[in-house]
């Protein structure tokens, strides 16, 4: 499909979906709060933006995930690279990191509540934890997956250890680091919403969970749509361009 065809298909599908939703909302024998129409969600959007609530919640949630992304870049990437440099260390760390990567931040929440209390600290720790492990794990894998031949080529050119790290290991690990960042942030975004729902006093997760108590269903649906849309924007405008400028250009991933 051409870009134009794709766009047209999307518009048609979206229109059909909204029409079906409106029809169901108007005809199904359920109370209004059970399935509000799309127009109610749009109204909730206008209302929350006008009151300034939605922008604040969005900034709070985005701020938390971006902080986690920064921590992952500054701490998890270098640490993963370092651990990956030695085969023995990497082999030893692999199952440990794999284990903690699979125990999601959400599963930690009950324990973190005991340790860090019912508040911001717990949210941040849970989200950072969730982002860091996939990034760490993939950075380590990335270093291990750099073909030995590139290292040998540089050694025969007289390259120092640091030179090999800078010119071979780091760029060679980048495809995995990119994968790790994408996975980590995707997991982290979900963990963030869940943590905000359980212990938050603000943010999108808090917004949709608290709306439930007041039967503000349109607000819940709006929150869900915003959560999905923000991820699409983050992926499209931040993660993909970074990939396109590096590993896609080098032919390390196929697009």
Residues that bind another protein (CB under 8 A): 147, 149-150, 152-160, 163, 167-168, 171-172, 174, 246-247, 249-252
Task: Report in angstroms how near the CB of residue 176 gets to another protein at its nearest.
Answer: 14
Q: Please say whether the dihedral angle defined by the alpha carbons of residues 111, 117, 123 and 125, taken in this order, is positive or negative.
A: negative
Cβ atoms 171, 77 nearer than 8 A: no
Min dist CB 254 to another protein, Å, is 10
- Of 52 and 158, the one with the shorter C-beta distance to another protein is 158
Of 92 and 250, the one with the shorter C-beta distance to another protein is 250
**DSSP code at position 252:** S
Min dist CB 154 to another protein, Å, is: 8
Number of H helices, E strands in the chain: 13, 0
Angle at 99 between CA 181 and CA 199, to 5 degrees: 70
Q: Which helix (H) or strand (E) holds 154?
A: helix 148-156
Considering the complex, state which of residue 34 and residue 250 has its C-beta at the smaller distance from another protein: 250
Taking the complex as a whole, how short is the minimal distance between the CB of residue 146 and another protein, in angstroms? 10
CB of 161 to another protein, least distance (A): 12
State which residue, 168 or 226, has the beta carbon closest to another protein.
168
The residues near 247 (Cβ < 8 Å, ≥ 6 apart) are: 174, 175, 178, 253
């Amino acid at each position: 499909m051409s870009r134009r065809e794709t766009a047209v298909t999307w518009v048609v599908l979206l229109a059909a979906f909204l029409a079906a939703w409106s029809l169901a909302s108007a005809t199904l024998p359920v109370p209004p709060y059970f399935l509000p129409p799309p127009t109610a969600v749009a109204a909730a959007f206008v209302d929350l933006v006008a009151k300034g609530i939605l922008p604040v919640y969005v900034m709070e949630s985005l701020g938390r995930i971006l902080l986690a992304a920064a921590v992952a870049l500054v701490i998890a990437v270098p640490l993963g690279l370092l651990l990956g440099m030695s085969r023995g260390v990497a082999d030893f760390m692999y199952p440990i990191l794999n284990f903690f990567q699979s125990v999601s931040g959400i599963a930690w929440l009950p324990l973190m509540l005991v340790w860090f209390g019912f508040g911001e600290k717990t949210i941040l720790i849970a989200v950072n934890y969730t982002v860091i492990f996939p990034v760490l794990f993939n950075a380590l894998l990335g270093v291990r997956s750099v073909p030995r031949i590139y290292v040998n080529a540089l050694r025969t050119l007289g390259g120092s250890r640091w030179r090999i790290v800078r010119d071979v290991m780091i760029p060679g690990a980048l495809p995995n680091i990119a994968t790790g960042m994408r996975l980590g942030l995707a997991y982290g975004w979900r963990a963030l919403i869940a943590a905000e729902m359980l212990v938050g006093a603000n943010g999108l997760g808090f917004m949709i969970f608290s709306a439930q108590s007041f039967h503000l269903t349109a607000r819940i649906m709006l929150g869900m749509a915003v959560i999905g849309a923000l991820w699409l924007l983050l992926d499209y405008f931040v993660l993909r361009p970074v990939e396109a400028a590096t590993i896609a250009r080098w032919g390390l991933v196929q697009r």
